Amino acid sequence: MNLNFSTDDIAFRDEIRAFLKDNLTPELAAAGRKATSVFIEPEYTLAWQAKLNERGWVAPHWPKEYGGPGFTETQKAIFAAEFAAAGAPSLSPMGLSMVGPCIIGYGTPEQKAYYLPRLLNGEDYWCQGYSEPGSGSDLASLQLKAERDGDDYVLNGTKIWTTHAHHANKMFCLVRTRTEGKPQTGITFLLLDMKTPGIKVDPIRTMTGEHEFNQVFFDDVRVPVSGRLGEENDGWTVAKYLLEFERGGGTSAGVKAALDRLRRYRIMKGIDDPILAKKLEQVSIKVEALLMTEHRIVASLSAGASPGPAASILKAQRTELMQEVDEIGIEMAGIFAGVYEPESWLPTPNITPVGPDELAVAMPRYLNDRAASIYGGSNEVQRNIVAKAVLRL
């Protein structure tokens, strides 16, 4: 691979840096650096999304004909690296990175015309209705029932671990429309409005005190058939397509940026710990190797294409590296890692930081990211997918 930037690439990088300097306010940058997961409160992400949408950069991986900026693969990598290094807050992935590509791939012309502009401008904020109390990694066993009644489906059941459902006005949801045959062949993919009568959202607090998750209950909720994405009973096909974007979407640039800040902090503070230094450099080598893998995979895709089974490779490696960085952050914070107040780091922390923002939230980030190698399909599941679809075992 030729990793040298062209003159045009350098000019593009400088353009991004100028944009970040002019638009990334200290409050938005703090929200990005102090995030404990990829989900940041909408008051920050939607404000940042509005700035990006105005510039035409809100969906860097979307095809140009649907509102993407038409970046080259190198430009996408530069874009991700510069935004991560600056600490820009990540936008909610549910809409732009997950259901958006699904609507592009499976939506009717009417669905594309309605939903895609609203995704870009932040008018719709999405949550994901996949997991249920008895259906997590075994997602095909889901039981949320949807019975056809004229031009509507009537939904009864529940979804759990529904991230930011308390903020969302839209949900993409998997429902059971047929019980006979293979479980996968009776699932339908629906787009629905969270203000529909019969929907109830109950909070689930994490052990760090954050309100990120919810349980959502459906009691005779009527969803128009026009909200179906793909064919009835073929929602599993759409769901798998979306999961490729959930697992393979994004980049490891954020992991690298967090690691680089820890490395700089160690040098700045003169922390003379050879074991810690070795850990930092070992993880750094792994991150660089993963970034090269990402570049190769992304370069092989056409614009808007799904990453396929390569998504499982990226998901497994990226989440495990992220956890390694978290562990180093805990080690560097030492006894101060446990000194935090739930939800105190945003918008204005009530604690005295022990170094960079990463260390101020080292413990809640560590605890939150323990789930990263489980959600979206556990890493054991990802390795099975690689064995079957890539290695043909």
Q: Residue 51: which H helix or E strand, with range?
A: helix 42-55
Find out whether 328 and 276 touch, Cβ atoms under 8 Å: yes
- The phi and psi torsions of 345 (rounded to 5 degrees) equal -80, -10
List beta partners, residue 132.
135
- How far apart CA 364 and CA 295 sit, in angstroms, is 30
- How far apart CA 43 and CA 258 sit, in angstroms, is 23
- Is 246 in the active site? yes
Q: How far is CA 156 from the centre of its chain?
A: 27
Of 41, 82, 132, 246, which is the active-site residue? Answer: 246
CA-based nearest residue to 329, from 366, 377, 296, 284: 366
157: three-class secondary structure by DSSP: strand
- The total of other beta-carbon atoms located within 10 Å of residue 304's CB is 15
- How far apart CA 68 and CA 58 sit, in angstroms, is 8
- How far apart CA 27 and CA 347 sit, in angstroms, is 8
* Catalytic residue set: 246
